[in-house]
Amino acid sequence: MLNASLRQLSRLLSDKKISSTELTAGFLSRIKSLNPDLNAFITLDEEKSLNQAKSADAMIAAGQSTPLTGIPIAQKDIFCAKGWLTTCGSRMLSNFISPYDATVVERFDQAGMVNLGKTNMDEFAMGSSNETSYYGPVKNPWDRLAVPGGSSGGSACAVAARLAPAATGSDTGGSIRQPAALCGISGIKPTYGLVSRYGMIAFASSLDQGGPMAKSAEDLALLLNAMVGFDERDSTSLQREKEDYTKNLTQPVEGLRIGLPKEFFAEGMSSDVSRAVEAALAEYRKLGATFVEISLPNSKLAVPVYYVLAPAEASSNLSRFDGVRYGYRAAQYSNLEDLYARTRAEGFGEEVKRRILIGTYVLSHGYYDAYYLQAQKLRRLIAEDFAKAFEQCDLIMGPTTPTVAFNIGEKCGDPIQMYLSDIYTSAASLAGLPGMSIPVGFGDKNRPTGLHIIGNYFREAQMLNVAHRYQLATNWHELAPPDSGN
């Protein structure tokens, strides 16, 4: 049951071989057993989850179910859920009970899915290791000495450890794809604007995008069918015709042109990751794909560009957390200005404060033109590189991360090394392109690694098809951590 795909679970539920209540209770029991060590979940509410499961069972009995009805899902704690504690991994929101649902949560509720709980994450999605969370680091279920990646590390851990069959994540510069790779699962960041950001607590508004995390590409396709759609409450939401991402999953990939950026296969990628990625590319060659060497000359600037633009937007978005309206408030203060200062100093963690300071600096008078404006110009050049590349190929592939998961605490004292974890993922985010990671094997210390697939705008269906064909030929996505109690 723990290794069942979403389609298999859906069939079992519709055939009445198991009820949603039984399935949900089983996962809640597993979470109680393993979460104290893994720390993947921040908030659980067994009563709410089981009530949702009972409603799902009633939908199934009445013949009103969807392919996802009755299936449990974990929600990253960046998505507001009505009546649930929604913390964003921060002390600043440690007492915030959301009065409304994010659109993503709302759509899964409408599909009849069951919210298992809210998963741990880097504070306000700022981090690559899930170590900046106010609630402590999440452990990688493949090796509890290692990080799970971030910022969606709790969601990635929950799926990998079989605490949940699926989870939501958010991706600003790689925060779905990087933890998916480090935990050996599949995850996709859709084209910017496809998934509503309403109710997803903002980090960097021009980059943030919600997406699903699950075992396989087929599972991701089912989840995307529910997540994607226009939302008038989100000004960045795109209005386009509804698409069925499961429709063409099994199409052959003969003749597919895969672009290999020479910049992604240069110095910086560890030898163990390189071997796994090369083996995956060899599998695609067997499936009939062809390879084209391409160049993304400005991709080397993606990390510095990202760490100018994202903090600038964060400094603006996080200005609302002042201790006046909701969230944490300092216990002692002498006047209104002191309330603001003390609340923000006590409520935010070190990484968040670092990024607020950087963002405020690059937006300040005298530095806006030198930093922020230049970064926006480079962002355009990065997007143009991708446009030229897609004239030569259908999809782009490479490593998701330069190394396998590093040890907890290993990079905490060196923010620059931590930021370089997103070296292969941040360029696609800056361009607003869809990207996904699928598991392709193991590297040093038997820690997972992933293959990064980048598509042109709105090519999610093609990416999922290509990933699914690989997963039909291999079994990396089926493997579970040996000590996960599976």
Whether residue 106 is contained in a domain is answered as yes
Residue 68 CA to residue 52 CA, distance in Å, equals 13
Specify whether 49 is catalytic: no
Mean pLDDT, residues 41-68 taken together: 97
Give the CA dihedral 348, 41, 149, 80, nearest 10 degrees. Answer: -60
Confidence of residue 420 (pLDDT cuts 50, 70, 90): confident
Instruction: Inform me whether the pLDDT recorded for 485 exceeds 90.
Output: no
Per the domain annotation, does 431 fall within a domain? Answer: no
- Is residue 115 situated within a structural domain? yes
Whole-angstrom Cα distance, residue 152 to residue 76?
7
Q: Give the N- to C-terminal CA distance of the chain in Å, as an integer.
A: 9
Which tokens sit at 62? 């009445």
- Single out the residue of 110, 114, 6 nearest to residue 70, CA to CA: 114
Residue among 5, 151, 421, 426 flagged as catalytic: 151
Residue bearing tokens 């969601």:
155
pLDDT band for position 331 (50/70/90)? Answer: very high
3-state secondary structure of 150: coil
- Rounded mean pLDDT of 112-126? 98
For residues 239-245, average pLDDT: 95
- The reply to whether 151 belongs to the active site is yes
Say what the pLDDT of residue 486 is.
44
Residue 76 is a catalytic residue: yes
Torsion over CA: 114, 118, 119, 121 (sign): positive
CATH for 135: 3.90.1300.10
Alpha-carbon distance 332 to 326, whole Å? 16
- SS3 assignment, position 457: coil
pLDDT tens digit string along 182-222? 999 999 999 999 999 999 999 999 999 999 999 999 999 99
Q: Residue 335: pLDDT above 90?
A: yes
The one catalytic residue in 65, 175, 196, 299 is 175
Q: What is the mean pLDDT of residues 238-260?
A: 96
* Domain-embedded: residue 193: yes
The answer to whether position 369 is within a domain reads no
Q: Closest by alpha carbon to 418, among 158, 150, 177?
A: 150
Does residue 126 sit within a domain?
yes
Whether 452 is covered by a domain: the verdict is: no
pLDDT in tens, 277-320: 999 999 999 999 999 999 999 999 999 999 999 999 999 999 99
Q: Of 377, 227, 209, give the one whose Cα is nearest residue 301.
A: 377
Domain that holds residue 45: 6-254
Tens digit of each residue's pLDDT (9 = 90 or more) over 427-438: 999 999 999 999
Q: What is the pLDDT of residues 157-185, one digit of tens each?
A: 999 999 999 999 999 999 999 999 999 99
Residue 255: exposure state from Cβ atoms within 10 A (0-12, 13-18, ≥19): exposed
Share of the chain above pLDDT 70, in %: 99
As a whole number of angstroms, the distance between CA 204 and CA 197 comes to 11
What pLDDT, in 10s, does the model give residues 67-77?
999 999 999 99
Q: What is the mean pLDDT of the chain?
A: 96
| 175-199 CB burial, b ≥16 within 10 A, e <16 | bbbbbbbbbbbbbbbbbbbbbbbbb
Residue 1: predicted pLDDT: 81
pTM score > 0.85 for this model?
A: yes
**Other CB atoms within 10 A of residue 416 CB:** 9
Residue 484 has what pLDDT?
Answer: 58
At 396 the pLDDT is 98
Distance CA 156, CA 431 (A): 24
What are 145's two structure tokens? 């000495």
* Residue among 68, 73, 78, 69 at smallest CA distance from 102: 78
Q: Report helix, strand or coil for 6.
A: helix
Please report the pLDDT score of residue 478 as a whole number: 96
No. of H helices and E strands in the chain? 15, 11
The reply to whether 27 falls in a domain is yes
Integer Cα distance of 399 and 181 in angstroms: 9
Quickly tell me which residue has 């899964």 as its tokens: 108
Is pLDDT above 90 for 107? yes
Task: Name the catalytic one among 65, 76, 90, 186.
Answer: 76
Q: pLDDT tens across 354-400, in order?
A: 999 999 999 998 899 999 999 999 999 999 999 999 999 999 999 99
Could you tell me if 147 and 408 are in contact, meaning their C-beta atoms sit under 8 angstroms apart?
Answer: yes
The SS3 assignment for 337 reads helix
Q: What is the pLDDT of residue 238?
A: 96
Torsion of CA 39, 20, 82, 347, to 10 degrees: 0
Segment 41-61 shows an average pLDDT of 98
Domain count, the chain: 1
Q: Which residues contact 427 (CB under 8 A, 6 or more apart)?
A: 296, 298, 299, 302, 382, 386
